[in-house]
Amino acid sequence: MTRYVLRRLLHGVPIVLGVSVITFLLFYVFGGDPVLQFLGRHATPDQIAALEREYGLDAPLYIQYLAYLKEIATLDFGLSFVTREPVADVLWRGVGPSLSLTVPALFATTILSVSVALIAAHFRGRPLDRSLMVLAVAGMSVSFLVYIVVGQYLLAFEWPLFHIHGYRPGLVERWPYLSLPILILIVVGMGYDTRFYRSAIAEEVDKDYVTTAYAKGLGTPRVLFVHVLKNAMVPIVTRVMISVPFLVTGSLLLESFFGIPGLGGTLLDALDTADFPVIKAYTILVSVLFVVTNVLTDVFYAWVDPRIRLS
């Protein structure tokens, strides 16, 4: 297992390098002058030259790319254009609020969606199954923005059940502000996840081992939540692991509308102000998260399904 994980991580290095090349070309070659974008059209030549010199943007492209690789290897992306803080500190400050929002939502959405999908698959083709799938499709069809606006208006303004905007960093104080965004994430995610899990579980319900389990006198809850669920774990793991990188990077819309200072809001602020070092670091962070997540997904496959062998 250890050799396999190390080998998969080594295979991920070329992917990260490829992403770094693409990112470098997009930002440094095709994206225009980041210094000019930050300073604006009315910047003087002296101001442009000073900022380029400070951030090494006046060096040849290959020198800049080598410096970029060094930043990736050391996780030191220099200083923000706007705040003049280390970029690592700017990003790290947003990780906690983003995880506080996305992790509870992922756990709750997965548990609820899998449970509903098991019930729908058990009653497949019957009115209950059709009703649940209609609700899932209806939930998927409504825009994320609609959920946010309606949720804020009805649940926070008309009926003051939740805070409409803001955030407090304390372990206890943050939850009144996060409750409504988490609820919206759960409602939005359940439509997509329920349909996906129901399709995966329905393939298992018709197999011989399920018939044998019922013939042995096992109850429906045990058959569904133990035997069927165990054999449907591979697609469930796939769906969950795809969401993992987004746990860290946060939700752009939710964080923006609810005033949550997570990584999603940090990225929006960086885009608005052309804070090039923050955007660059965020991009490579996402690519590394996807590479690591793919490795972990393969490892979890072998863990949840003994029929899969690591090779």
Tokens of 231: 């054999």
Q: What is the residue-wise DSSP string for 146-203?
A: HHHHHHIIIIIIIS-SS-SS----STTTTHHHHHHHHHHHHHHHHHHHHHHHHHHHHH
**pLDDT tops 90 at residue 12:** no
Tokens of 253: 């819309």
Residues 212, 216, 217, 222, CA torsion sign: negative
- pLDDT level of residue 186 (50, 70, 90 thresholds): very high
Phi, psi for 79 (deg, rounded to 5):
-105, 150
| Cβ neighbours around 3 below 10 Å, total | 8
> Tokens 């399904």 appear where?
305
Provide the pLDDT for residue 309: 59
More confident residue, 37 or 276: 276
Tell me what percent of the residues of the chain surpass a pLDDT of 70: 93
Query: In terms of Cα–Cα distance, which of 17, 14, 35, 36 is closest to 25?
Result: 17
Averaged over 189-207, what is the pLDDT?
Answer: 87
Tokens of 64: 């800049």
Do the beta carbons of residue 13 and residue 30 sit within 8 Å? Answer: no
| Cβ neighbours around 242 below 10 Å, total | 13
Provide the pLDDT for residue 179: 92
Which pairs from 161-167 meet CB under 8 Å and 24+ separation?
A: 164/258, 165/257, 165/258, 165/259, 166/258, 166/259, 167/97, 167/258, 167/259, 167/260, 167/261
* 0.85 surpassed by pTM: no
Using CB atoms within 10 Å of the CB of residue 221, give its burial: 0 to 12 exposed, 13 to 18 middle, 19+ buried. exposed
- E strand or H helix at 102, and its extent? helix 87-122
**pLDDT tops 70 at residue 228:** yes
Per residue in 134-167, pLDDT (tens digit) is 999 888 888 888 999 999 999 988 888 888 888 8
Per residue in 294-310, pLDDT (tens digit) is 877 877 777 776 666 55
Do the beta carbons of residue 200 and residue 235 sit within 8 Å? Answer: yes
Provide the pLDDT for residue 1: 63
**pLDDT tops 70 at residue 32:** no
- pLDDT level of residue 104 (50, 70, 90 thresholds): very high
Provide the pLDDT for residue 310: 52
Distance CA 86, CA 189 (A): 34
More confident residue, 188 or 37: 188
Domains of the chain: residue spans and CATH: 94-262 (1.10.3720.10)
Averaged over 34-46, what is the pLDDT?
Answer: 73
